[in-house]
Structure 1
């Protein structure tokens, strides 16, 4: 399975990025045409989409998990809908964490099953019908903001305030799936992670609701790891985001190793990391998302850092979701 390495020029505007501008026009044009002419299906239960405008690394899955936990506390049955990116199965199918591995259904789908029923499917409409047959009161869709075929009753656009929109250009010249302003217009609510270091607030209409949140690691894990040497590795959209979080919470990260997003680790890569950590007397850590892409017999040597979403104003979120109760 091929994993994607984010081009360096996606982060800054430079001649290399500008060379791809004609292809960006084509990508944007095809996307608009698909949205303009698509026939949209409305599911029999509400569909909440958690999407983004930047390719990879926005933190959508933890937000989906947070929404799922909210609905479960209200005695509702949320069913997660995932594309199954990185997996070989096209679906639609119900993910079985005891039978399926990341190579089959993707890493995100396996994480979602820890909170609730999860359906994968390249065809979102067919997948939504399967979700309803599984008893869904509400469908929480991980990604799919740019997919026009399934009607969304609520669209949350997730934005990383630390990263912003990269060089501001559309794929392949930059990281954007579409123009930022166009995505904001279509979204019902913006979810802003972290500090607004790129002045995105100024580009969001004052009438558009904004939820602020941050990613918080498991406090017990952090306390246990404090004072130890930490070697961290990650194959996610923006590994630096993970490393910064560890350091921000006081961990002594002495070395890091980056891999492409959704990278499937082979045993030799992991054995090398384990040996290097042992040589330096360090504790080897990664993300929970990365761990499911590692052979099970090697997982015991690695500590996955579990994270959750902490909302600045939980009442604002509850008010937003109350109409689906």
Structure 2
């Protein structure tokens, strides 16, 4: 009887979420139609724009991919700037230049965790935050940027862009996906038609059959978009109190670790640690974009109890916002990762080249 009640309650709950998904999806379709049919004009930014986004909730590797693209443009002699929405930042200014490419200009709590991480790991790239991305791009142009990379802007319909790169997590079943709140889709799958390119991330974590399954869905929903595959490849390990002393990623091999993170896809972080040869003996996860406080170390301490961990390991995003760890805890290490293109690297080079060409044709000022 109790089981039936619980089953009935769950079924009613799922039906309610599906019902709520209908008006949400209709709203997304209506908003997009306003711009696609020309009833609302898209803003033309002062710099050529590459958007890196996704169609699902949660982490797909947008920030890591953003950094890869910024570094590749720098290597070609083009100075990009990065725009972030600024999740969990505490600031009065609606848009703000938080890094001029040489240093963080504001405290981390004002910049936001992703901006602070990028400022430390992508030197030479100015960074601005704000909900109005076109205004943030103006700040980048004033700081000498020649192109703008928008982290998480696929749903920012109001602005023109040169490249719309959409990231799809290989571990996510696109075919079975439902629109929020019944599922994890930010908008209906057919909206993938806006993508100019698609990058399947975490492709090394699934079977070839699973990749083929995703490719089949993408061929229907984004037939015009070239598809690439990528993985998060570890590039080193460092103590959070000594970030300049980078150790090889092999340093974690055989080490018993506690995984601590506040990201959209914590399971992928644990998978990465296992690939590095670490023995993950436990995990302490916090909500995405969590603002750490000293008291959070007590949660970590409780999770450590009886696990005999030799190290606590965090992501780069977490490392820039952690309060100093208590001295009696195991050493706290951060894993540096890079987005590594696994297939069709020439498509990635074409994407970078398209932005480079546009950047060289346009002035770097408003």
Q: Tell whether the structures are fold-level matches, with TM greater than 0.5.
A: yes
After the TM superposition, which residues 56-205 of structure 1 pair with which residues of structure 2 at under 5 Å, given as runs?
A: 56-89=58-91, 91-96=94-99, 98-113=104-119, 114-115=121-122, 116-165=125-174, 168-182=177-191, 184-193=192-201, 194=203, 195=206, 197=210, 199-205=213-219
Residue 18 of structure 1 and its aligned partner are, at CA, apart by: 3.1
Inter-partner Cα distance in structure 1 for 2:267 and 2:286: 11
Residue 45 of structure 1 pairs with residue 47 of structure 2: yes
Residue 231 of structure 1 and its aligned partner are, at CA, apart by: 0.8
Q: What CA deviation, in whole Å up to 9, does each residue of 1:12-42 have, x standing for no partner?
A: x965333212322222222222223343111
Q: Gapped runs of 5+ residues in structure 1?
A: 1-12
Instruction: Check conservation: 1:21, 1:173, Cα contact below 8 A.
Output: yes
Residue 23 of structure 1 pairs with residue 51 of structure 2: no
Deviates more, 1:281-290 or 1:35-44: 35-44
Deviates more, 1:110-119 or 1:185-194: 110-119
Inter-partner Cα distance in structure 1 for 2:177 and 2:302: 40
Residue 257 of structure 1 and its aligned partner are, at CA, apart by: 1.6
Instruction: Check conservation: 2:284, 2:303, Cα contact below 8 A.
Output: no
Larger Rg: 2
Q: Gapped runs of 5+ residues in structure 2?
A: 1-9, 35-39, 237-246, 357-366
- Figure out how many residues of one structure are paired with residues of the other and give that number: 312
Report the aligned-residue RMSD: 2.4
Query: What is residue 297 of structure 2 aligned with on the other side?
Result: 270
Deviates more, 1:48-57 or 1:103-112: 103-112
Inter-partner Cα distance in structure 1 for 2:326 and 2:199: 36
Inter-partner Cα distance in structure 2 for 1:289 and 1:35: 32
Q: SS at 2:295's partner residue?
A: helix
Inter-partner Cα distance in structure 1 for 2:58 and 2:107: 21
Inter-partner Cα distance in structure 2 for 1:107 and 1:80: 14
Residue 222 of structure 1 and its aligned partner are, at CA, apart by: 2.8
TM-score by length of 2: 0.78
Instruction: Check conservation: 2:178, 2:185, Cα contact below 8 A.
Output: yes
1:252 alignment partner, one of 279, 304, 316: 279
Inter-partner Cα distance in structure 2 for 1:306 and 1:166: 32
Inter-partner Cα distance in structure 2 for 1:56 and 1:272: 23
Instruction: Check conservation: 1:91, 1:127, Cα contact below 8 A.
Output: no
TM-score by length of 1: 0.88
